């Protein structure tokens, strides 16, 4: 259905061969911890910030790969000591999303760790085209088209929205140049944010514009709506359609990448906060231990 596989060969650069296990060393913090499974001495934990919570414990000059988890009170607990390389690769091959991890982190405990917000697709849905978008757009061919609501009420509800475009020689607002026969319509939502619609535009010799159905499928990123032409026949139209689909795909992925980076940043920030908190906790505990030791020694001396 979707043209998501149609042009992979055409525009893919040389394969990067990046099927390696993911690089571990994204963010590295060194914290001091008292692992409950390693008796007696505290060890330096090189905490490799990884969602899989795989960490490298460096103790007595030896580096081992261990599984470290938190016990819910900020204590690191070693839960697994010998994971085979294959197994590790398997674990690392795919990790949960930053949103998932962070939400788990924040639900487990977490003062100061904010949940990553769920997508705001619902609220970003177009609720009132008629009142927020320009009524006129200019096609890449330079024509000005009026976007008029077929049913005014329809446009003010979520979901399927039908508009018709009819030629009208009035002031143009904005549209970007696109592959032949395609126009990106830019409009402003109620909250002031700019949104884009990729619209295939074909104009009959008589100057009439085809009708398209504009809908906001739930799968599309916030604010992106799909325009489906009502009858493609010629190979040229098919090509246009696939170009449009590609454009849409790229747009979606662009948006997804942005979101992903934002979540990643937020996730790293949270982890850094967490490290700071744990470091502080550890300091306090060390101090407490010290004073208790002193107290104990003092008592022993006096007896």
Please, which residue, 219 or 280, has the CB nearer to DNA?
A: 219
Q: Does residue 223 contact residue 193 with C-beta atoms inside 8 Å?
A: yes
Helix (H, G, I), strand (E, B) or coil at 46: strand
Q: Which of 96, 112, 169, 190 binds DNA (CB under 7 A)?
A: 96
Q: Which of 273, 277, 167 is nearest to 211 (CA)?
A: 167
Q: Would you count residue 86 as binding DNA (CB under 7 A)?
A: no
Q: Would you count residue 123 as binding DNA (CB under 7 A)?
A: no
Would you state the structure tokens that stand for residue 200, as one six-digit string?
Answer: 């295939």
Q: Would you count residue 12 as binding DNA (CB under 7 A)?
A: yes
* Shortest separation between residue 257's beta carbon and DNA, angstroms: 3
- Whose structure tokens read 């030629």? 167
Residue 1 carries which DSSP code?
A: -
* Shortest separation between residue 68's beta carbon and DNA, angstroms: 18
d(CA 297, CA 286): 16
Q: Which of 77, 260, 277, 285 binds DNA (CB under 7 A)?
A: 260
d(CA 31, CA 286): 13
d(CA 5, CA 245): 10
Q: Which of 64, 152, 157, 253 binds DNA (CB under 7 A)?
A: 253
Q: Would you count residue 15 as binding DNA (CB under 7 A)?
A: yes
d(CA 168, CA 203): 13
Q: Which stretch binds DNA (CB under 7 A): 130-138, 143-151, 233-241, 253-261?
A: 253-261
Q: Which of 259, 268, 279, 281 binds DNA (CB under 7 A)?
A: 259
Q: Which of 225, 241, 221, 223 is nearest to 233 (CA)?
A: 241
* Shortest separation between residue 143's beta carbon and DNA, angstroms: 25
Please, which residue, 44 or 253, has the CB nearer to DNA?
A: 253
Site string for DNA, 179-218 (x = CB under 7 A): ----------------------------------------
* Shortest separation between residue 241's beta carbon and DNA, angstroms: 13
Burial group, residue 76, by CB count within 10 angstroms (0-12, 13-18, 19+): buried
* Cβ neighbours for 157, distance < 8 A, ≥ 6 positions apart: 127
* Shortest separation between residue 174's beta carbon and DNA, angstroms: 17
Q: Would you count residue 275 as binding DNA (CB under 7 A)?
A: no
Helix (H, G, I), strand (E, B) or coil at 266: helix
Burial group, residue 220, by CB count within 10 angstroms (0-12, 13-18, 19+): middle
Q: Which of 23, 62, 204, 234 binds DNA (CB under 7 A)?
A: 23
Q: Which of 87, 120, 254, 290 binds DNA (CB under 7 A)?
A: 254
Site for DNA, rule CB under 7 A? 1-2, 4-5, 8, 11-13, 15-16, 18-20, 22-23, 93-100, 119, 219-221, 250-254, 256-261, 263-264
């Amino acid at each position: 259905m979707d043209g998501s596989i149609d042009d992979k060969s055409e525009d893919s650069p040389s394969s990067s061969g990046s099927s390696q296990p993911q690089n571990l060393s994204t963010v590295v913090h060194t914290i001091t911890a008292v692992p409950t499974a390693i008796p007696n001495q505290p060890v330096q934990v090189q905490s490799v910030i990884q969602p899989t919570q795989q960490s490298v414990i460096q103790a007595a000059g030896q580096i081992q790969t261990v599984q470290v988890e938190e016990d819910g009170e900020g204590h690191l607990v070693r839960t697994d000591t010998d994971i085979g390389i294959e197994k590790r690769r398997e674990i690392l091959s795919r990790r949960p999303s930053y949103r998932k991890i962070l939400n788990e982190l924040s639900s487990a405990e977490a003062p100061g760790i904010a949940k990553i917000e769920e997508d705001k697709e619902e609220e970003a849905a177009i609720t009132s085209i008629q009142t927020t978008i320009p009524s006129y757009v200019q096609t890449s061919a330079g024509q000005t088209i009026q976007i008029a609501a077929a049913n005014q009420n329809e446009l003010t509800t979520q979901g399927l929205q039908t508009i018709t475009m009819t030629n009208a020689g009035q002031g143009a607002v904005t549209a970007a140049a696109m592959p032949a026969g395609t126009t990106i319509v830019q409009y402003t939502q109620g909250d002031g944010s700019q949104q884009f619609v990729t619209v295939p535009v074909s104009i009959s010799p008589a100057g009439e514009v085809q009708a398209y159905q504009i809908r906001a499928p739930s799968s599309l990123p916030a604010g992106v709506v799909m325009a489906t032409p009502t009858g493609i026949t010629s190979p040229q139209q098919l090509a246009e359609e696939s170009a449009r689909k590609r454009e849409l795909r790229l747009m979606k992925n662009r948006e997804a990448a942005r979101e992903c980076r934002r979540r990643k940043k937020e996730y790293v920030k949270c982890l850094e906060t967490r490290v700071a908190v744990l470091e502080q906790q550890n300091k306090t505990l060390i101090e407490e231990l010290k004073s208790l030791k002193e107290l104990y020694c003092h008592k022993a001396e006096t007896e």
